[in-house]
Structure 1
Amino acid sequence: MTLGGFLDVSRETMERLERYSELLVKWNPRINLVSKSTIDDLWTRHILDSAQIFEIPKGGIRRWVDLGSGGGFPGLVVAVLVRELEQQFEIMLVESDARKCAFLSSVARELDLKVQIKNDRIENLNSLDADIVSARALADLSSLLDLSERHLAQGATLLLMKGKKWRSELETAQSKWNFDCQIVKSKTSEGSVILCVSGVCRV
């Protein structure tokens, strides 16, 4: 089956994503996992938007850390997609809101997903030695680099989903940090991008 016209997945994966969306709709009135204005467009705005990030990394992943996972975007969607791979890797979801962590844990149990959930602020955690760090709608680029720096393994990549103001964020970050950045256009949101950042160090 084709997910969003760009990713081939099994029937089992599609069923897990459908169940995930059902659970999110059920929980959302209680803990506001996503904006009410986007709930009717949940698949495009959140699930497919998150799924596209899964296409970017190319092998050699030991640990994927998702910062500010919230309702599970993109980290929980990645965890569903990873189940199809022969080469598994560790997925860690970092979320400071205990209620959202309860939701993430509930979905992970029901869908039999192998994830670690850290109910804490990222700045409070010891180094996570991540090969991939992802984040969506969490903070500006400079702040994300500051939060992520000590958690990056050698050769790590940050996959940061950004909206239409990404150019100004990139310019500001480049005055404070040295890094390489590949810009991947979003397949689900006009003007949005995924910033693939590597080689991070302070100026």
Structure 2
Amino acid sequence: MTDSEEGAKAWLRDVVGADAETMERLDLLTHLLIVENDQQNLVSRGTLPFVWQRHILDSAQLLTVPRETLPDGEWLDLGTGAGFPGLVIAVLQPDRQVSLVDSRRLRTDWLERAAQALGLGNARVELSRVEDLAERKYSVISARAFAPLEKLLRISIRFSTPHTLWLLPKGAKALHEVESLAKNWRHTFHVEQSLTDPAAGIIAGHVAGMENTARQRVSHRRKGRA
């Protein structure tokens, strides 16, 4: 766990390997966020004195929490809001394409301005509801407190393959959401401890899809008549 802004910056340098140029970009992101937060409520004002811990590190830790090697390929950040974790991932991994999706125009306008100011040619901002987003497959899908797990899977499973890695910061209810997930979801989700909140967890893993429950009922009926 990190308990200071300087500790968060040291973690980014030591663990993620952020060089001086990357740290300058992240510092610019924090400045842009603070300025824009006076115009629209991007994040809680109470978190701004701890912006490196609560938003930068909280996003960057997704690169290290999985128990496996992070897959190459495009990253989809759903309900990205102020750009967390999407903008941070795009800064830390400039060779990876990152799609940031939000349904609020004020937010996407801010994201486009921020991406331009940060020189992020690898960040694509999309103004869309998840339900209306064009279907394509992604290597990594993230969503930071965007929707309950069951609903999130139902509206976004079409962007996933069995090899897609899901990284979902979920707060204190992470384990409960995994345990409450309908049994017909075929998944390998587990919960990792957040580095920024001792009470919070991050759901990580893969989803193969849903069992065809209707087909299962027919199969059971046939077996019962045999």
Given the two structures, how large is their TM-score scaled by the length of structure 2? 0.82
Residue identity over aligned pairs, in percent, reads: 34
Match of 2:22 in 1: 13
Computing the radius of gyration from Cα coordinates, the structure with the larger value is: 2
Tell me the SS of whatever aligns to 1:183: strand
How big is each residue's C-alpha offset from its partner over 1:59-82, in whole Å with a ceiling of 9 and x where there is no partner?
Answer: 542210000111010011000000
Residues 123-134 of structure 1 correspond to what in structure 2 (within 5 A)?
123-134=131-142
Q: How many angstroms apart in 1 are the aligned matches of 2:70 and 2:54? A: 27
1:166 counterpart letter in structure 2: A
Match of 2:40 in 1: 31
Match of 1:71 in 2: 82
How big is each residue's C-alpha offset from its partner over 1:119-147, in whole Å with a ceiling of 9 and x where there is no partner?
Answer: 00011012121110001011111111112
Contact 1:127 1:150 in 2 (8 A): yes
Given the two structures, how large is their TM-score scaled by the length of structure 1? 0.91
Contact 1:3 1:9 in 2 (8 A): no
Match of 2:165 in 1: 157
Contact 1:131 1:154 in 2 (8 A): no
Tell me the SS of whatever aligns to 2:163: strand
Counting matched residue pairs gives 199
**Among 111, 118, 125, which residue is 2:126 paired with?**
118
Write 1 or 2 for the structure with the bigger share of strand: 1
Please say if 1:42 is aligned against 2:25: no
Contact 1:2 1:8 in 2 (8 A): no
Contact 2:185 2:210 in 1 (8 A): yes
**What root-mean-square deviation, in Å, do the aligned CA atoms of Structure 1 and Structure 2 show?**
1.7
Unaligned ranges ≥5, structure 1? none
Q: How many angstroms apart in 1 are the aligned matches of 2:195 and 2:70? A: 22
Contact 2:174 2:191 in 1 (8 A): no
Shift of 1:115: 0.9
TM superposition outliers: structure 1 runs of 4+ over 4 Å: none
